Every structure is written in C-alpha cells, then in structure tokens.
Structure 1
Amino acid sequence: MTRAGKAAFSLQWQMLAGFLAGLVLGLIVHASARDAAWVDHVTTYVTGPIGQIFLRLLFMLVIPLLVSALIVGIAEMGEMRALRRVGLKTLLYTLLVSSIAVAISLAVVNLLRPGAGVDPVQAQAMLDNAGAGAHAILARGGETPQGMNALIAMVPDNIIRAMADNDILAVMVFALFFGIGLVLVRTDHTRRLLSAMEGLFEVTMRLMGLVIRLAPVAIACFMFNLAAQFGWELLERLSAYVGVVVLALALQMIGVYSLLLALIARRSPLAFFAAAQEAMVMAFATASSNATLPTAIRVAEEKLHLPRRIARFVLTIGATANQNGTAMFEGITVLFLAQFFGIELDWAQQLMVMLVCILGGVGTAGVPAGSLPVVAMILGMVGVPPEGIGLVLGVDRLLDMCRTTLNVTGDLVAATVIASGEPPESVSAPPSPPPPTR
C-alpha cells in the first residue's frame, strides 16, 4: 500500500473512532447526568463550537471549489458535443434513479404506515417542546422563493451577491455558463484563464485536505452533542418513522445502486463501496453534501479512477441536483405526518408530493437540515399542519446523516455509470500530435 493510501486509510479509521467515541461518551452522559448544568456548558461552549468551526471552514472553501471544479470539468470536455452528451446522460440518469427512489418511498411508507404507530400523547409533548424550532423552520421556508420565482432565482443577477448568500444553485448556473464560454472561445488568454481555474481548484483541494484532518475531532463532538442531548429515548418514540426512512434509504443504497453498478457500469458493488467508504463516512459525519464534495472528488479520481472531467462535472452537479436521499426523506416525512394527523392522501396526491420533493431537492441547500424548509412548504400544500415538522426535529440530525450518505454515494454511482458509457478517446482526450512533416 502506498503512503497516500495508508494516510487515507488511517483518516477514515480515525473518523470512525471519533464517531464511536463521541457516541459512547454522549450516551454515558445522557444516562448518568442528562440534567447536569455542566453538560449544557460543554455542548454550548466546547463541543458545539468545535463542530461549527469545522463546518464553517469547509463551507468557506465550498464556493471556490465548486466554481473551479465545474468550470474546469466543462472546459475539459473539449467540445460542445461531448458536453451535451455527458450533460444529457446525467439528466436522464438523475430522472431514472429519482423515479425509482420515488417508487421505493411510496411502497415502503404505504406498506408499513409509520404514522399510525406514534403515541399521540408523546407526539403532542414533543410537538410542544419543539415549537420554537418548528416556527424557525417555517420562517426559513417562507423566505425561500417558490414557483416561477424559484426558477428565475436560479439565474443570478449578481454573482458576487449569490456567492455571499451561499446560493449554490445560482452559482452553479454561472459556473456552467462560464465553462461553456471557455469551450466556445479557444485563445491564449482563455487557456491562461483555464490554467488559473485549475490552480484555484488545486489550492482549494489542498486547503480542504488540511481542514479534513480535523474531521475525527469534529465528528466526536457532533456525536457527543447528539447522544448527550437525546440518547436513545427519542429514537424509541419515533422508531417506526426512523425505521421506515432508514429502510427506504438502505433499499436504494444496497439494491438499486448495486444493480446499476453491476449491470451498467460493469463494476463490483463490493469493490465500489470499499473504495467509496471514506466519502461515505465524511458524508455521514458532516450531514452536508457540499462539505463532502472535496472528499468525493478525490475518491472518484484516486480510488475509483474515474476521468476527472466526468468526476468533477457529475459530482459538482450532483451535489445539488442528484439528491435521492433528500427526496426520499422529504416524501416519507410528509406522508408520515399526513398519516399521523389522519389526513388520507390518494395516489395522485402522493405522486404529486414525491414529484415536488424531487424538484425541491434540486434547490435544497447541501448543508445540515437544508431540506426542512422544503418539507414545511409541502406540508402546507397538502393540508397537513406545517407545525408538525416539530415532531421530527429531534431525530432529523441522525436522518440527515443517513440521507446525506445516500446522496453522496449516489453522486459517485452516477459518475461511475456515466463514465462507463464514454468512449475511450472521449474519456482520455489526449492532445492530437502534430502531423509529420515531409
């Protein structure tokens, strides 16, 4: 094993150790001193800030990474024909796999009906306790553009302001247009500009690598806070709901993705998941597709050996657009709350809910709890009290970690499947040698 391989292997085991250490310590504290004042001080002034600083360091670098990776990935396509081919394949793949995710979600939530098994007394108590959090989520949802305004907002009128507002979708649209411009204009100046973008990408990836070395400590802090505050009691109260969400995500991960890898990409699913485990652990720990993007790009290029132009294009697009886990979570949550409040939705309404979840997932921020405003919006659409989102706030962090893992893994699967269909000369795209002189 190479030195780089040992370092990466060591890092992912360090993250796993941090995860287990934080979880065990948190459960011990919850069982022995849950109401002690020092626990609140530790989570407020020590473990909480450490985790937040880690995430903020990653988010600080996400915009330059996303912009440079997408621009370089598009520019390296070499011609519009290759860009159209890869872009169309990415779109068709996303629609197909998202449709499968919708079918799985509808089948599981209607078969198991998790909303029928919640104790109304306990649920009302949890709803009262989470009232402030639910109202904050509803306020965020009210600020989010909807309908035609959301479509218009995808095109930024000021790219600097879009970056400052962390409007990832608008920044991606700008990067797409800029990359297309570099494909269309081939001069010495644009080649230098492309070289500068490549330099920006390399510097950002290097800085991300330095930040990720802090991941084991940050992960331990995340898990300590979660376990110390909630323990297993909240999971027991909402076990049916949590179980249904995790089951649906597992079916998509183990079943659908394995079939796509084996039948289309002609790769061993076991070998793929073994190579992708570092990105999966990072996604689970941070609950953020954006924060995991640098790790996913490195895994795609170094572990899965995918062409970098395919990997960078698909992964940067997928971090916002290809979110199967988010769509499944949002749909199941809406149907679960509808069942709990005794509101029966027919199949047409359920399909409408899942379609909105797919479309809403495209613009969902790739940050922890980024999908909750979308859930609140959909609840209001189907006549379910939006305040019901307070029921799931306590377990959302765990489910956010699970669905983000599926999102990131799905992006890597998409890149693998799409790269497998590219002709060898398009994948490598070596520069053409000059004709021999006579």
Structure 2
Amino acid sequence: MSRKDAAPQAGGGFWGKMELWKKIVVGMVAGVIVGAVMGPEAEVLKPIGTLFINAIKMLIVPLIFCSLIVGVTSMQDSRKMGRIGAKAIILYLGTTAIAITIGLSLAAIFGPGEGLNMVAKDSATMGKEAPPLVQTLLNIIPKNPVGALAAGNILQIIVFAIGLGVSLTLIGDKAKPAIAVFESLAEAMYKLTEIVMKFAPFGVFGLMAWVAGKYGIDILLPLIKVIAVAYLGSLVHVLVFYTGIISFVGRLNPIRYVKALVNPAAVAFTTTSSSGTLPATIKASREELGVSKGVSSFVLPLGATINMDGTALYQGVCALFIAQAFGIDLEMSDYMLIILTSTLASIGTAGVPGAGLIMLSLVLTTVGLPIEGLAIVAGIDRILDMARTTVNVCGDMMVSVLIAKSEGELDETIYNAETSSANSEVETA
C-alpha cells in the first residue's frame, strides 16, 4: 500500500492521523491514571479490554491455520520447508537458553529476594504441573482436525496445517483452486485484523485501568525489585542480544530492526498474547523488515507457539528470587538444571494457557524450591507477563529476519529503506 493510497485513511483529525503505537501509548497512560484514581472500582472498565482480547482471540485460529498453509505452499519445496523449520526450532531453543541465563545472572547480581527471610510451610498448595514432554509430543497429532480447530489447540492446528500445506504442494496443479481459497481467506483475516486493531487503544485503556486499579502501588512496592530486574533483563535481551545477533550474524543494521519492533511490541505488551500479536508481527516483518511471505507465514506462527524467550528469562529471575526469599543456596548444578528444564519446558508447555506460571511450577519442583513461592509472584504475574510476551514477539521477528537472510528471502531494499510506508501507515496494522 502506498502513501497515496493511505492518505484518505489518515483523516479524522489529530487522532486519525496519529500512528497506532502512539494511540496505544495514550490508551496505556490514560488507563494507568484512571486505574490509580478509581482503585478497585476500575474493574468496571475491564469489559472494554475483555472485548478487545476476545476479538483478538477470534482471529488467532483461522489466522494461524491459513497463514501456515499459505506459507508452506508458497515454498513449493517440502525440503526447504523442513530446512527452515529446523533452523527456526534450533534458533528458538538456543535463544531461550540464553534468555534464562540472563535472568539468572541479573537476579544473582541484584538479589531481589535477599533479606525477605521467608519460611517454607507444610502447605498443600501445589502449582499446576506442566504436561510431560512425551505426552505433549503424542498429543500434537490431532485425532479430529475439526475438533482441534474448534478447541483452539494450537500445536495440533500447526501440525495439521503443515501436513495439509505439504500435501497441497505435492499434488501440483490440482491444488491451485484450494491454495487460492486459503490465500483469499488469509488476506481476509489480515483485513479483519486491521479492523480489530483500530480498537486497540480503547481495549488497552480498559486493561491498564483494571491492572492499575487491582494491583495498586502498595502491592507492587514489596515486589518492585523483581519487576525491575525482569524488565531490565528483557531490555538487555532485546536491545543487546537480539540486536547483536542481527548485526554480527545477519550483517544487518540493528536500528532498522528496533524501529520495526515498536508497533508489535506495543501490542504484545498490552495484550500479553504472542498469538494475538501475530497479525502485527507478520505485517511489520513483511513491510518494514522485508521478510518474504513464505518465511513470515511459516516461522512467525511457529514462534508464537514455541518461542518462550521472555518466559524463560522470567523463570530465571523468579526462581532465584524465590530461592533468595527462602534463604536457599543454589549450586551450579541447580543453575544448569534450571536452564535445561526451562528450555525443554518451552516446548512442553507450548499453547497451554498461563504457560508462564506452569513453567515456573515445573522449575520450582525440579530444583526443589518451595512451591509456595509460586503464590508470591502470581500476584504480579500480569505485569511480568507484559514484559515476557514482548520479548517473545521481538524474538519471533529476529528469527524470521535471520532465516529469511539465510534463505535469500530478505528484501534488503525494504529492510534498509530510510522510511517505510508501513511505518507511516501503522494505524492500519
């Protein structure tokens, strides 16, 4: 879409001309202020945010399903699809291990739990267990694809979509009508996403007002150090590690990557949903970073499901915080076990609601830390979830850029453009 084409849509006064991410920031700040003033009564505004989240969730299943099929069929080569998939999984797991190492390191340096002197009780409170990895692998093949679509089982949907996409590629010309249908459906979902995203600032306002009103500053103060360390780790992982990989491995200007993150990061931060941010992530990757349709349609939905860099970083911070709070000294073997468990659990808990807390309960159990510690961080989980989801989304985009570059499917003319039409039209994202 050119600037000329977008001009009529930029009308509607000052608000209509404002870029989407700026509108989201306005909604976020206004929500915090209103929530702080109203206190618990701000919960009356939560339905506004809930409506927006429901609209986002409405898009997830058909968007992932159609995008994956379009991505696989556009490759025209099942071997290439397998190669890209292998690269994506290796990169996602590798960056997850680095993320939790950063979290552990910063928690060790700043000691957010030191001095709390908490005592573990004989409590029956247990965290929800993550599903065993073997069971997860057995369950990824859907017995009923329609049932998987209806239930929103993302892993099963991905497997079925990839299988269907590969089959359509293998049957040649007979697949063209079906492929055309999925391409049309994918485009329709992108357009519906544009419509839904216009309401993002209002949904964000409702969500932030509820969060600020519910938690308040009094509850946040005792745990402010945990939040600060988690957010610092998130910034280090994105602005140092990701940009370093983009620069030294991808041989690309990291500033372009950071600029393209703004809109998807704003959506991820407020919605706390990697899958819900997928429309904005795909759009920014294609239009601002030059990632091909085939790579973005395959790698990004996969990353939205299995990439948990931000969640892993959160595990490191919270696990060490709980150990410090209860006065438990961890050995180097414990640190290695935390890294290994969190990295593998990032696949085992993929697509499970509340994956962050589920993964944390798994880590605490594995290392022998008091499971009661789960309740301590559960109260601020929403605030931590904002940071970890943002990191997850930034990681998805980084991996898509690297894979596109390695496959010769990165349009560096778009990536290196001084200005991007997509950036000026972000309100239609």
TM-score, scaled relative to structure 1: 0.85
Match of 1:266 in 2: 251
Measure how far apart 1:267 and its partner are. 2.6
Instruction: Give the C-alpha shift of residue 367 in structure 1.
Output: 8.2
Residue by residue over 1:373-422, the C-alpha shift from the partner in whole angstroms, topping out at 9 and shown as x without a partner, is 22123322222232321111221111101111111011111111111122
Q: Partner of 2:311 in structure 1?
A: 326
Change (3 A) 1:284 1:277: same
Displacement of 1:426 in angstroms is 11
Residue 239 of structure 1: CA displacement? 2.0
1-structure distance, mates of 2:132, 2:389: 24
Contact 2:117 2:327 in 1 (8 A): no
Counterpart in 2 of 1:435? none
Aligned AA (1:405)? T
SS in 2 for 1:385: coil
Equivalent position to 2:288, from 303, 309, 317: 303
Equivalent position of 1:118 in the other structure: 116
Q: 2:143 aligns with which of 149, 157, 172?
A: 157
Q: CA deviation at 1:64?
A: 0.8
Using the TM superposition, name which of 286-295 and 1-10 deviates more: 1-10
Match of 1:195 in 2: 180
Q: Is the 8 A contact 1:67 1:172 kept in 2?
A: yes
The separation in 1 between residues aligned to 2:27 and 2:398, in whole angstroms, is: 27
- 1:21-420 to 2 correspondence within 5 Å? 21-30=30-39, 39=41, 42-43=42-43, 46-118=44-116, 120=118, 138=127, 141-142=128-129, 144-188=130-174, 190-364=175-349, 369-420=354-405
State how far apart, in whole Å, the 2-side matches of 1:384 and 1:4 are: 55
Q: In 2, Cα distance between the equivalents of 1:151 and 1:8?
A: 48
The 1:345–1:151 alpha-carbon spacing in structure 2 relative to 1, beyond 3 Å, is: farther
Looking at structure 2, the residues matched to 421 and 293 of structure 1 have their Cα atoms a distance apart, in angstroms, of 22
Structure 1 runs, 4 residues or longer, greater than 3 Å off: 1-9, 117-121, 363-370, 424-427
Tell me the CA shift for residue 360 of structure 1.
Answer: 1.8
What's the CA shift for 1:113? 2.5
Cα separation, partners in 2 of 1:272 and 1:160, compared to 1, 3 Å: same
Q: Distance in 2 between matches of 1:10 and 1:375?
A: 37
Cα separation, 2, equivalents of 1:202 and 1:179: 17
* Match among 4, 21, 25 for residue 16 of structure 1: 25
Amino acid paired to 1:58: I
Distance, in Å, in 1 between the alignment partners of 2:265 and 2:198 is 16
The letter for the 2-side match of 1:403 is R
Q: For the Cα contact (< 8 Å) 1:379–1:386, is it kept in 2?
A: yes
Determine the C-alpha separation between the residues in 2 that align with 1:301 and 1:9. 22
Rounded to whole Å, the distance in 2 between the matches of 1:23 and 1:299 is 27
List alignment gaps of at least 5 residues for structure 1. Answer: 428-438
Alpha-carbon offset, residue 192 of structure 1: 1.2
Hey, what's the Cα distance between the residues in 1 that align with 2:352 and 2:25? Answer: 21
Post-superposition CA distance 1:269-326 (Å, at most 9, x none): 2222212211110001101001100111111112222111111111111101122111
Q: Aligned partners of 1:358 and 1:52: how far apart in 2?
A: 31
Provide the rounded CA distance (Å) in 2 between the counterparts of 1:117 and 1:153.
44
RMSD: 2.7
Q: Structure 1 residue 216: deviation in Å?
A: 0.5
Distance 1:147 1:362, change over 3 A: closer
Structure 1 residues 216 and 366: CA distance shift in structure 2, 3 A: farther
Q: Which amino acid aligns with 1:184?
A: L
Deviation at 1:194, TM superposition (A): 1.1
Mapped partners of 2:218, 2:353: distance in 1? 22
Amino acid at match of 1:242: I
Distance 1:343 1:155 in 2: 41
Report SS of the residue matched to 1:104: helix
Is residue 96–residue 343 contact of structure 2 (8 Å, CA) maintained in 1? yes
Residues of 1 paired with 2:4 and 2:261: CA distance? 17
Unaligned 5+ segments in structure 2 are 11-15, 413-429
User: Using the alignment, how far apart are the partners of 1:65 and 1:156 within structure 2?
Assistant: 18
CA distance in 2, matches of 1:306, 1:426: 6
Residue identity (%): 32
Task: After TM superposition, give the deviation of residue 120 of structure 1 in Å.
Answer: 4.0
Give the superposition deviation at 1:67.
Answer: 0.9
**1:43-95 per-position Cα deviation (integer Å, ceiling 9, x unaligned):** 1xx31222112111111220111011111111111112322332232223223
CA distance in structure 2 between the aligned counterparts of 1:8 and 1:272, rounded to whole angstroms = 24
Return the letter of the residue paired with 2:30.
A
Q: Equivalent residue of 2:372, what SS?
A: helix
Q: What is the rounded CA distance, in whole Å, between the counterparts of 1:319 and 1:29 in structure 2?
A: 35
The SS at the match of 2:132 is coil
Number of equivalent positions: 403
What amino acid is the match of 1:177? G
Q: CA–CA distance in 1 between the matches of 2:394 and 2:93?
A: 16
